[in-house]
Amino acid sequence: MDDIAALEKIARLIRYYILLSTTEAGSGHPTSSLSATELMTGLLFGGIFRFDLDKPNNPNNDRLIFSKGHATPLFYALWAAAGRLGEQDLKTYRKFGSVLEGHPAVAFQYTEAATGSLGQGLPIGVGEALNAKYVDRLSYRTYVLLGDSEMAEGSQWEAIQIAAHYKLDNLIGIVDVNRLGQRGETMYGWDLDAYEKRVSAFGWDTIVINGHNFKEVLGAYTKAIQVRDKPFMIIAGTIKGKGVSFLEDKNGWHGKALNREEFQTALGELGAVDMSIIGEIDKPVDQRSEKKVPVEAVAISYDKNKPFATREAYGHALKRLFPQFPDLVVLDGEVSNSTYSEIFKEAYPERFFEMYIAEQNMAGAALGFARRGKVPFVSTFAAFFTRAFDQIRMSQYSRANIKFCGSHAGVSIGEDGPSQMGLEDIAMFRTVKDCVVLYPSDAVTTEKLVEAAAGHKGMVYIRTTRMKTPILYGNDELFAIGGSKVVKRSDADTVTIIAAGVTLHESIKAYEELMKENIAVRVIDLYSIKPLDEANLREAARTSKAIITVEDHAPEGGIGEAVRSALPGTAVHSLAVRKMPKSGKPEELLLFEEISKEAIIKKVKELL
Amino acid sequence: MDDIAALEKIARLIRYYILLSTTEAGSGHPTSSLSATELMTGLLFGGIFRFDLDKPNNPNNDRLIFSKGHATPLFYALWAAAGRLGEQDLKTYRKFGSVLEGHPAVAFQYTEAATGSLGQGLPIGVGEALNAKYVDRLSYRTYVLLGDSEMAEGSQWEAIQIAAHYKLDNLIGIVDVNRLGQRGETMYGWDLDAYEKRVSAFGWDTIVINGHNFKEVLGAYTKAIQVRDKPFMIIAGTIKGKGVSFLEDKNGWHGKALNREEFQTALGELGAVDMSIIGEIDKPVDQRSEKKVPVEAVAISYDKNKPFATREAYGHALKRLFPQFPDLVVLDGEVSNSTYSEIFKEAYPERFFEMYIAEQNMAGAALGFARRGKVPFVSTFAAFFTRAFDQIRMSQYSRANIKFCGSHAGVSIGEDGPSQMGLEDIAMFRTVKDCVVLYPSDAVTTEKLVEAAAGHKGMVYIRTTRMKTPILYGNDELFAIGGSKVVKRSDADTVTIIAAGVTLHESIKAYEELMKENIAVRVIDLYSIKPLDEANLREAARTSKAIITVEDHAPEGGIGEAVRSALPGTAVHSLAVRKMPKSGKPEELLLFEEISKEAIIKKVKELL
């Protein structure tokens, strides 16, 4: 039996598994799986893919990302054909408690990244390929299976341009052009040249093939792994529902399973399936990447009398901490001179990746790095992380170890106006399950929190401020995720003011002015917004007449609501950005939005 | 004096204004403005642009969008050169209270849309061009000035592909390729061919020119307005800082104003400026688009015994309401058979726009329609609006009249798993200032709320549910933005349960089971989450022993926190999606997340 006949046998088995799992589940996407069956069978079992099935985390394994995440029936069928899932497993597909979820979940050991929101796989692949080529210097390749519908997502083109820019010859995309989207024909239908022209214009090497012809499929992969200095895209014409006559190229079958009768008819068309065969996957070569031994970072030494911007402290922290966290990589969206990640870039250019103004791809690439064991720190203006909310949201499902830093938070950025003001970022990151949200108010806190973030396994968001702010703490002060600080207090406190960032400094000014009038207030630095220091907040609620929160952020989902959620039954008065912001001096805008010391003093007096 | 000499005089005046306003402000982006001076001077004053300066809202006016929104010094200088702003106005640039903000604000009458977050202008232009070609059928053209750095944003490529797909020969993009981004060279530098190849591969007609040569600039526009069935892109090589030797093509001058001394030196280089000239702009032709007279929509008639999905009611509502709201247009992101906007599409195909899987461009195009007086209803899965958060965020600054409808909210979608579950959408839309957030629980409510949304001037978000839900209300029931309904109550209520959507139905089931045990609870349908019915909530807080909120959404920024903010001092117990969601049956997932009737009953009993 020749190689192609063997692959055809495996493909038949895979089609059987696709139909079996979806019919058992009563839902799923069999037709979108059938179209890519030869493409994936050829890759895994045609001698191209290198993977150690016993060690999915072997750093030399080729990586496979299903960007068309709805094709899980095919994805699981592949691992079944490789002997790693049985029919009983496949019958748990989409059932509560099974790791074989409707879209790939990382609870399943062969899932490279959780996908299902379209247009996300290629950016993740960019991160994995960047890691191989520039960081780990390993020869693994990253393969990304793409749907034709999802090529409409801008994130794809962000990834396509960056992959070419970084000459990622270890990244191979496979577009399954089955012509039909969810509700009808895609923008380009079967116009394979349309894809070929666009992708090659962006600097990729490409090939157009019949995606059901194993000879062409294998030829494409063989060519793909020989190309140098360019990523490679296989543009494959396929038929949705291929192999089952009443499904083939039929509209109305997207995301629908066959009933048992249809399933039997389909099996009849497939012909005899050899359940005994197991597809072979070659093991990868054994390469080792150079591992740096962590060395404790030097201590910080900020001058208490010299105001310093937290955004700048962020850059210094990255540079200082790299020896201690040698898995660190830094990505920035063309604003490294504003976020100050450029300080790191100048010190460690080989670990800094300029991702240009393409935040979706930046967040996706960070996930790729994280999945390969790196600790990516990703920075842009806080406002512009809204651009990547879908990627950020999806990252939680890949248990991502990513640190985001948003600079230029709030109206206090001043003259540039609302387009550049991050006013929703706390709310956005708070919705992400288990994502830590940190908001340092001075350079010392920033350094300590960047360190805490680097050491924390999981997603972290750090919010920094544009303007210089006074140093509040000594260089030895300790800060922890979930902590807070009482920065001002007396025995006679009546009102507690809770703030972070620029409004903490306004609160301290208010404290000082109120003291002149013999009004004592407590001021809490809520540098960890999620998780919150509930004990400290409860103590404040218990001992204060009133609680005020002050934040340079929208009232919804920010510090005020976080504190309210931590203090059920306590009346929390929230000062936040409630008026449509505009250009102006920082102090004018803080005053206008009623989050400056004047508004705090007024509110305290109202509450006395 | 020939035409070009006249344009050169105007350009010199504009350069003077650019330097004047930024030096007065002490900040801003003069160099990014200087590079595009000939491109914009040629457009406005070279006999191409048609605009009625006295009537910025004349529907026949050509539209001009500054996608590179930081080039406001140029933008304002253009209108100054047209005689509509004086030096004193320009000296208010970036000052608190001035309409001449750091990035374009719609408070300034000639601003087409608020920009400043990059990569947003072209999608807005797509909406305005779609409106001209397919809805109003007017001959105005839409011009979009683009920066080269922002071409890295995927949203640009979403817009580029859709513009070609819809053959928008009334859309003209101008890329100002000045080589330098904020922190250094762009991905392609001065490789104009790189842009030309990519844009033309996507089906645009293109021209490459020297952006400082008026003959080439005018030639490009002349060609642009003659092209048929294709959008047109002018790719202009320019010099950042052009006209001031010490700024030209120099890194480190992005977003920096000259000090007074540098300003004087620069003026010396400009030479004599004729302050008396006023650039002429031709008025547009007077065309009228056909206006339909509103006709009251037919009444609804849902069968109280027949469960009906709110997402499907949304589609029916759009179709039913079109006669009453003839400015309505409907956009969908390739899921119209899931969001049910296809019901509208089938009835009014000419007012339906398939935007494919490209949510950023869809949201931007909706803003374009809104700015031209249409009422766009935009639908996709609730989860996928996170993709367009930046566009949604920016829309508020354009006072956008856009209605978003997110289907497939929450874990109750079931087997598809977390990638498809909208769990952050309420939090996201709540952060948008003045954005109404509605969450109907049955078909009747949906119909009434879609009607309320269509009649409301401003942004509205409507959240719909995948599964069929029972009809709760009679067809004559009234609903209002900011309202709520007490759906179950007795004289003996001790606990109030506040819910909306699928959890309202769980709350009603809990009520019924608790009644069997003689435990009376009140159930409130919080169909308007923003604004909230504070009076009704306060009444509940006053008369109940405890308040419970239940929501198929993250605990942060959702119904629980909204209610807590409305009821300061009241302990509000929040049931929400707190565990990592997965695939499963809707009822299994509601149980797992502790937002089903079982969890509600348990919580009520705990609180008694």
How is B516-582 classified by DSSP, letter by letter?
Answer: HTT--EEEEE--EEES--HHHHHHHHHH-SEEEEE-SS-STTSHHHHHHHHSTTS-EEEE---SPP-
Whole-number Å distance between alpha carbons of B459 and B402: 5
If you average pLDDT over residues A70-94, what whole number do you get? Answer: 98
If you average pLDDT over residues B197-210, what whole number do you get? Answer: 98
pLDDT at B1 > cutoff 60: no
Whole-number Å distance between alpha carbons of B62 and A329: 47
User: Which chain B residue has its CA at the smallest distance from A105's CA?
Assistant: B582
Which one-letter amino acid corresponds to residue B229?
D
pLDDT confidence of residue A290: 84
If you average pLDDT over residues B557-571, what whole number do you get? Answer: 96
pLDDT digits (tens, 9 = 90+) for A332-378: 999 999 999 999 999 999 999 999 999 999 999 999 999 999 999 99
If you average pLDDT over residues A250-263, what whole number do you get? Answer: 95
| β B171-177/B63-66 pair status | unpaired
pLDDT at B423 > cutoff 80: yes
Per-residue DSSP letters for A338-361?
HH-THHHHHH-GGGEEE--S-HHH
Dihedral sign for Cα atoms in the order A112, A170, A144, A388 = positive
pTM, whole model, 2 decimals? 0.98
pLDDT at B357 > cutoff 90: yes
Q: For residue B464, give the nearest of B450, B485, B483, B482 by alpha carbon.
A: B450
* Number of neighbours of residue B494 by Cβ within 10 angstroms: 16
Q: How many residues does chain A have?
A: 608
B273–chain A nearest CA distance, Å: 28
Instruction: Count each helix (H run) and each strand (E run) in chain B, helices first.
Output: 22, 19
As a 3-state breakdown, chain B gives helix, strand, coil percent values, each rounded to 5, of 40, 15, 45
pLDDT confidence of residue A438: 98
If you average pLDDT over residues B261-274, what whole number do you get? Answer: 96
Whether A357 sits inside 8 A of B158 (CB atoms) is no
User: Crossing angle of helices A214-224/A3-25, nearest 10°?
Assistant: 100
Judge whether B224 and B172 are in contact, CB under 8 Å: yes
Residue A594: pLDDT band with limits 50, 70, 90: very high
Helix, coil or strand: residue A376: strand
Alpha helices for A97-190 (secondary structure H): 121-130, 154-165
pLDDT confidence of residue A493: 86
Catalytic, A359? Answer yes
* Number of neighbours of residue A252 by Cβ within 10 angstroms: 11
Strand partners, B354: B332
Whether A154 sits inside 8 A of B358 (CB atoms) is yes
Q: Give whole-number Cα distances, A518 to A488, A521, A548, in Å.
A: 14, 10, 19
**Could you tell me if A334 lies within 8 Å of chain B, comparing CB atoms?**
yes
pLDDT digits (tens, 9 = 90+) for B499-557: 999 999 999 999 999 999 999 999 999 999 999 999 999 999 999 999 999 999 999 99
Which one-letter amino acid corresponds to residue A122?
L
Which one-letter amino acid corresponds to residue A575?
L
pLDDT digits (tens, 9 = 90+) for B49-104: 999 999 999 999 999 999 999 999 999 999 999 999 999 999 999 999 999 999 99
Whether B116 sits inside 8 A of A420 (CB atoms) is yes
Selecting among A101, A153, A359, A561, the annotated active-site residue is A359
Residue % of chain A over a pLDDT of 70: 100
Whether B583 sits inside 8 A of A418 (CB atoms) is no
Helix, coil or strand: residue A406: strand
Residue B558: pLDDT band with limits 50, 70, 90: very high
If you average pLDDT over residues A34-45, what whole number do you get? Answer: 98
Residue % of chain B over a pLDDT of 90: 98
Whether B28 sits inside 8 A of A152 (CB atoms) is no
The DSSP H or E segment spanning B562 is helix B559-566
Backbone angles phi, psi at A52, to 5 degrees: -95, 100
Judge whether B436 and B456 are in contact, CB under 8 Å: yes
pLDDT confidence of residue B493: 86
pLDDT digits (tens, 9 = 90+) for B223-236: 999 999 999 999 99
Contacts of B474 (CB under 8 A, 6+ apart): B304, B444
B88–chain A nearest CA distance, Å: 17
| β A572-575/A171-177 pair status | unpaired
Q: For residue A110, give the nearest of A91, A132, A83 by alpha carbon.
A: A83
Judge whether A165 and A134 are in contact, CB under 8 Å: no
pLDDT confidence of residue B404: 98
Q: Show which of residues 556-585 on chain A sit within 8 Å of chain B, judged by CB atoms.
A: 556-557, 560-562, 564-565, 568-574, 578, 580, 582-585
* CB-closest option in B158, B202, B419 to A103: B419
**Could you tell me if A545 lies within 8 Å of chain B, comparing CB atoms?**
no
pLDDT digits (tens, 9 = 90+) for A464-479: 999 999 999 999 999 9
Q: Tell me if ipTM is over 0.90.
A: yes
